[in-house]
Amino acid sequence: MFDVRVSDEVATALAESRAVVAMESTIFSHLGLPSPANEEALSRCEQAVRAVGAVPAVTAVFNGVAHVGISQTDRERVCGPAQKMAERDIPVAIAEGWKYGATTVSAALTLADRAGICVFATGGIGGVHRGSELTGDISADLDAIARRAVVTVSAGAKAFLDLARTLEYLETSGAPVLGWQTDEFPAFYTRTSGLNVPHRVETAEAVAAIFHNRTRPDQGVLLAVPIPEADSLDAGRLDAALASALEECEAQGIRGAAITPFVLERIAVATDGDSLPANLALAEHNAEVAAQVAVAIAQLG
Ligand code: PSU
Ligand code: MN
């Protein structure tokens, strides 16, 4: 099994049973957001976590070493060029000494779980892709969410996925899906998807109580938090952008792990850059809610 290097600040917080929030690094790397939005996203997420009294723990592989919690100097690396790393890539990244393996949701959950962190904040999770009945493309994020004893806080799944099938998959794999002060599963840039969440929660304490009563030592929970109203995008405009991005993907033969970065880039262009502030706002808000949940779990003991 791989080793993980936990930063002093995170290790101390965990030893004292204080609240810690793990974060993925793909969103902050060149794969997730263009510069300087990525640096801003990292700062805002870290500050949002700290403002609630929790400790942020960014996850990544640097020079073949898995890190949970990063130093001030590593922040520059986090925001630089990276190799996308899902859970299955972690052994390869370590054995081959990757310069910077950026964690996706599945990889971040693996590192968080290994370090003993039980709350994780991200922007949007991967899920079941449209046309998956032909391509078989289902993000490894979903199995990791269901099988790591961590609460994943996200603004729902990316809108270009098949959201109905994503919810079905989470049901099959036994992950509770909770709507944060909402009845609907949010669709990342927009607050609604037309799909209901199985359970609505109002408070961080309610999430902590559900997590506390999990049925298996490794049962994870997905908390879906809608993007703040003021930051959400117009659904019609987004749908058009999505449709053309997916067509382009198809035409250029882009597949697998390359799809997400490509589509996100195209959406940014098609919305005249409006998708960027929305992306930052939802990531920051998720970090804040995740920190509240981490504090509530820490209080439960
Ligand atoms: N959502 C975003 N930006 C991202 C991702 C999701 O707004 O960069 C990344 C996350 O790291 C997520 C990954 O875990 O995409 C899913 O990729 P795939 O669909 O290839 O599993
Ligand atoms: Mn995929």
Per-residue pLDDT, 167: 98
The preferred substitution site among 104, 143, 189, 242 for testing ligand 1, maximizing ligand atoms within 8 Å of CB, is 104
Per-residue pLDDT, 256: 86
What is the position in ligand 1's atom list of the atom closest to the CA of 31?
8
Per-residue pLDDT, 160: 86
Q: Domain spans of the chain? A: 4-300
pLDDT tens string 215-253: 999 999 999 999 999 999 988 888 888 888 888 888 999
Q: Quick one: what percent of the chain has pLDDT higher than 90? A: 85
Per-residue pLDDT, 283: 98
pLDDT tens string 96-119: 999 999 999 999 999 999 999 999
What is the position in ligand 1's atom list of the atom closest to the CA of 261?
8
Q: Shortest CA distance to 87 belongs to which of 61, 69, 62?
A: 61
Distance 91 CA to ligand 1 centre (A): 19
Dihedrals phi, psi of 6, to nearest 5 degrees: -95, 130
Q: How far apart are CA 5 and CA 61, in angstroms?
A: 10
Query: Omega before 36 cis (within 30°)?
Result: yes
Q: How far is CA 199 from the centre of its chain?
A: 20
Distance 195 CA to ligand 2 centre (A): 22
Q: Which ligand is closest in space to the CA of residue 142?
A: 1
Measured CA to CA in angstroms, residue 220 lies from 141, 247, 250 at distances of: 12, 34, 33
Per-residue pLDDT, 250: 86
Measured CA to CA in angstroms, residue 44 lies from 65, 96, 230, 244, 271 at distances of: 26, 32, 17, 31, 22
pLDDT tens string 6-31: 999 999 999 999 999 999 999 999 99
Could you tell me the pTM of the whole model?
0.96
**What residues line ligand 1, using a CB cutoff of 6 Å?**
24, 26-27, 31-32, 104-105, 123-124, 126, 139-141, 158, 257, 260, 264, 279
Residues of the chain below pLDDT 50: none
Q: What CATH topology corresponds to 4-300? A: Indigoidine synthase fold (3.40.1790)
Question: Could you confirm whether 24 is annotated as catalytic?
Answer: yes
User: Is residue 30 classed exposed, middle or buried when 0-12, 13-18 and 19+ CB atoms within 10 A define those classes?
Assistant: middle
Q: How far apart are CA 42 and CA 25, in angstroms?
A: 9
Q: How far apart are CA 227 and CA 182, in angstroms?
A: 11
Candidate list 40, 46, 158, 284, residue with the active-site label: 158
